[in-house]
Chain A
Amino acid sequence: MSPDDAKHLISRISLGDRAAFSTLYDALSGRLFAVTLRVLRNRAEAEEALQDAFLNIWRRAASYDAERAGPMAWLVTIARNAAIDRMRRRREAADIDDLPERADEDAISPELAAMQSQEAAGLHACLEELTAREAEMIRTAFMGGLTYSELAAREAKPLGTIKSTIRRSLLKLRHCLER
Chain B
Amino acid sequence: MAANIALTAASVTVANATVRQGIAGEVISAGEFVYLKASDGKLWKAQADGTAEEAVVVGMAMNTVAAANQQITYTPTGTVTAQALVFTSMGDVLYLGSTAGRGSELGQEGVPGNDARFTILGYTTGTASFVLNILNTGVVMPSA
Bound together: no
